[in-house]
Chains A and B, each alone.
Chain A
Amino acid sequence: MKWFTTYNNGSAIDLRQIPSLSYAEFFEAVRERLSNPACHVAHYFGVPVEETRLRVWCMILNDEEHTIEVASYDVDYYDEELPSLTKEFAAMHPFERDMTERWGIRYDGMPWDKPLRAPSRSARRGGTVDEYPFYKMESASLHEVNVGPIHAGIIEPGAFRFICNGEEVLHLEISLGYQHRGAERQIETSKSLLRQVLLAEGIAGDSAVTHTTALVRTIEKLTSFDSSKAGNLDVERAVALELERMAMHIADTGALCMDVGYQLGQVACEALRTMTINTTQLWCGNRFGKGLIRPFGTNFPLTDELRATILKNVEEIRRRYNEVRHDIKTTPSLLSRMEQCGIVNAQQMQRIGGVGQAARASGVARDLRVSHPWGVFTDRIAHQSIIKEQGDVMARLMMRCREVLQAADTITSLLTDLDCSVGSPAPQWEVKLPPYQLSTALVEGWRGECCHVAITDGEGRVACYRVKDPSMHNWLALAIAVRSEGISDFPICNKSFNLSYCGHDL
């Protein structure tokens, strides 16, 4: 069965062009595609069309062909015999669990039929962590350790249940869903585009630029707006994104150093991270880049002066960070902590559909800047992913180190010959969206693949808006990483992924 094929840089799709399959056809088609290791599911979600009917949309990315394949099927609430895809492809688990949780669709033979976002959703709303059906192992020599949902540090809420044999972790189960703000629903119901953009900035505070870029690109694609012809707009967005990547990777390097008690690396990275986010602040007045990304234009076009400052700061950060990197690589006590710790091998990463830098550290070359380029990555920047094979904490740390340097190079090459006199247009807020369209935008944030989808109704309003944060795929990788590690190494494993709690819970 032929699916509708589109590209990340393409335009919105007329809903009538997307094939509607029966579940059996869909199941076979997904199975056929996912058996190709270059393919993975970007998004898979249901939208109610009638009282008890749901239309389910599925998007599969093919990294080799650079395509996004889209198809849909209809399901009635009373339909039976929907075999589970998770049974064969573990990567499908967050999507099927979400569908069960949101719409009550049950999949036959679903091996891990647990709520994705307890306790914020549906029947479990208001429940406590004690009611969550945690996996159990009974033995006199085992003990359970529960951490959270409220933590001692300044981190977001999430419950972690360990089953340990002494110091060794046998199993970790993660229960999230304490951060529900109804972001998707609010984006759907708000009439103002500005409000939608502001909501996107708040989806995950550490990925404000990533999520906002994804949202404005989704909206712009609906109107066939070509950002590459809008002055320096594409360059500005790419620079903002790479600055965010630098800031967060540097912050994580510092946090990892802190968690192993390595003070020198911690203080050096804290200083550098401040310098990076202050550069963003100088540009747009907000350290996390809020307010910088706006639809159809920008309020903060780059000036020559600004360009020179960014270039100077990035060069300085790059030089100093490289010293920290060298320091980390040559400190034996750090290497002994991080090497061979928290390993997720390529096969596991592939099975669970990992994305972003965590996947690349395990040898799964998944990078939207290469596979599904947009903006400057289509022409100006020939991005080359950094791939590591080890899949341990050290590999993920070194991945961050290398990506910071690479991001600095990208910014430098984008800004060096930029003609700032071209300018960029001002943002537009009053736009008419075409009816019955589906638009999707993929953006490679610092954490990985971020996918936004908008579907418009007959009056050109955004009737359905779905967001997928890369954390959705990668939380399972953390659970796998800590298996048979010491429980005291969980914090560094967790930090090496640094996944989003609120991005998971929309």
Chain B
Amino acid sequence: MKELFNTILMIAIALLLGGVITRVRSVLSGRRGPSIVQHLHNVALLARKGSVYSPTTSILFRVAPAVYMGSALLALLFIPIGNLDPLLSFRGDVVVFAYLLGLGRLSLVLAAMDTGSSFEGMGASREALYGALVEPALFAVVATLAMVCGYTSFADIFSVARDLDMQMTIVMVLLAYVLVKVYTVEQGRVPVDDPRTHLELTMIHEVMVLDYSGVDMAMIHCANWFKGAALAVLAANAVMLPLCFKWWTVAPLSLLVAVIVGVVESSQARGKLVRNTTYILTVSALAALLLFVAYLLTLNIQIS
């Protein structure tokens, strides 16, 4: 029962995050903004439509959305919200989680190359580069969590509240910070990418899916939301682990990730594309540093 509730709550968070970002942006720009579920209506509309395929594309292009959505959904099922239990869990599932995200990315990159469009090729090359650069960050975060808790599945890591000291709590908060950064990269938000831009030459994620329409596009949107929710809930879990670790504290906190992203997007310009690599590497470097510090802390070496 707890598993089912966890899954439903997870999907609810996934569907809400995008709306919260849009709402925060609207309010900060002095507008009322669309309804918080407007993006769901948009995708529902897409899902009712058929798809159009370019004659230059192959089967790769057609299966990619399904692979992308399937992998994102599967990844989502490994993540517990607070003290709830996830649907799927086994030892070492943290690695499967990271590679499921990787598989989804790979399928989209291949599909983008399959179209033969010069825009999509550029988008794919950028996405592959940033994906490769941000993956170490995700692994370092997960490794830190696994090391601190002594387990290698998300269900075990986030089973009960841990009694961590002050130093380790700070490490947890910083892990959440890194996860928010990973979220911005994976979701293509400012400063790495700008999901609202209409300029093909500057897009990353948006340009890879230019050729998709109808139900395929709807699947890609859903997959993005699932991916985002998994990362946002992970971040909230990490913060709450040493504190009040309950599903009703973690779930609202994961929406705070969307608020943070909205605030950043409203107040800051997108970075220059060539500097994105530096930016993402910094995130990965911070994650590596956290892993090292956490290791020292588990050895009980006092850092003053």
Contacts and interface: CB of A to CB of B under 8 A. Distances in A.
Given A145-B119, A267-B31, A334 B201 contact: no
B31 A264 contact: no
Contact of B29 (A267, A489, A491): A267
B217 to A, nearest CB: 15
Contacts of B31: 267
B190 A261 contact: yes
Contacts of B25: 263
B301 interface: no
17 contacts: A143-B118, A145-B118, A145-B122, A153-B199, A257-B269, A259-B199, A261-B190, A261-B269, A262-B269, A263-B25, A333-B270, A336-B272, A337-B269, A337-B270, A488-B273, A489-B272, A489-B273
Given A147-B200, A153-B199, A333-B268, A261 B194 contact: yes
B269 A491 contact: no
A486 B197 contact: no
B270 to A, nearest CB: 4
A261 B28 CA distance: 14
Identify the 7 closest CB pairs spanning chains A and B, nearest first. Answer: A261-B270, A261-B194, A262-B269, A333-B269, A488-B273, A260-B269, A488-B202
Contact of A264 (B196, B197, B266): B266
B271 A491 contact: no
B116 to A, nearest CB: 12
Contacts of A487: 122, 201
B199 A491 contact: yes
Contacts of B196: 261
Interface in B1-41: 25, 28-31
Contacts of A264: 28-29, 266-267
A1 interface: no
A267 B31 CA distance: 9
Interface in B164-212: 190-191, 194, 196-202
Interface in A222-278: 257, 259-264, 266-267
Given A267-B30, A341-B272, A491-B202, 20 more contacts: A143-B118, A145-B118, A145-B122, A152-B199, A260-B269, A261-B190, A261-B191, A261-B269, A263-B28, A263-B265, A263-B266, A263-B267, A264-B266, A331-B269, A333-B270, A333-B271, A337-B269, A337-B270, A337-B271, A491-B201
A145 B191 CA distance: 25
Contacts of A488: 201-202, 272-273
Contacts of A145: 118-119, 122, 201
Contacts of B271: 333, 336-337
Nearest to B266: A263
B275 to A, nearest CB: 7
Nearest to A328: B269
B191 to A, nearest CB: 7
A263 B261 CA distance: 13
Interface in B251-267: 265-267
Contacts of B201: 145, 147, 487-488, 490-491
Interface string A24-64: 00000000000000000000000000000000000000000
B59 interface: no
A142 to B, nearest CB: 12
A146 interface: yes
Contacts of B303: none
Nearest to B210: A152
A156 interface: no
B272 A152 contact: no
A263 B25 CA distance: 8
Interface string B39-65: 000000000000000000000000000
A106 B238 CA distance: 73
Contacts of A167: 122, 273-274
A333 B273 contact: no
Contacts of B118: 143-146
Nearest to B197: A261
Contacts of A153: 198-199
B272 A337 contact: yes
B196 to A, nearest CB: 7
A341 B265 CA distance: 22
Instruction: Name the residue among A144, A153, A488 with the largest chain B CB count within 10 angstroms.
Output: A488
Interface string A165-196: 01100000000000000000000000000000
B239 to A, nearest CB: 26
B203 to A, nearest CB: 8
Interface string A145-169: 1110000110000000000001100
A153 B196 CA distance: 12
A263 B191 CA distance: 12
Contacts of B274: 167, 486
B268 A336 contact: no
Contacts of B194: 261
Contacts of B122: 145, 167, 487
A251 to B, nearest CB: 16
Interface string B264-304: 01111111111100000000000000000000000000000
Contacts of B198: 152-153
Nearest to B189: A261
Interface string A461-486: 00000000000000000000000001
Interface string B100-125: 00000000000000000011011001
Interface centre among A260, A267, A487 (most CB of B within 10 A): A260
A272 to B, nearest CB: 13
Given A144-B118, A145-B119, A262 B268 contact: yes
Contacts of B121: 143
Interface string A115-154: 0000000000000000000000000000111110000110
Contacts of B268: 262, 331, 333
A337 B194 CA distance: 14
A259 B118 CA distance: 21
A336 B202 contact: no
B273 A263 contact: no
Nearest to A340: B272
A286 B31 CA distance: 26
Interface in A325-339: 331, 333-334, 336-337
B272 A486 contact: yes
A166 B125 CA distance: 9
A132 to B, nearest CB: 17
A490 B197 CA distance: 14
A116 to B, nearest CB: 25
A489 B31 CA distance: 29
A262 B268 CA distance: 6
A336 B122 CA distance: 23
A333 B191 contact: yes
Interface in A304-358: 331, 333-334, 336-337, 341
A259 B122 CA distance: 18
B143 to A, nearest CB: 31
Contacts of B29: 263-264, 266-267
Contacts of B30: 267
Nearest to B199: A491
Given A144-B118, A491-B202, A260 B273 contact: no
B198 to A, nearest CB: 5
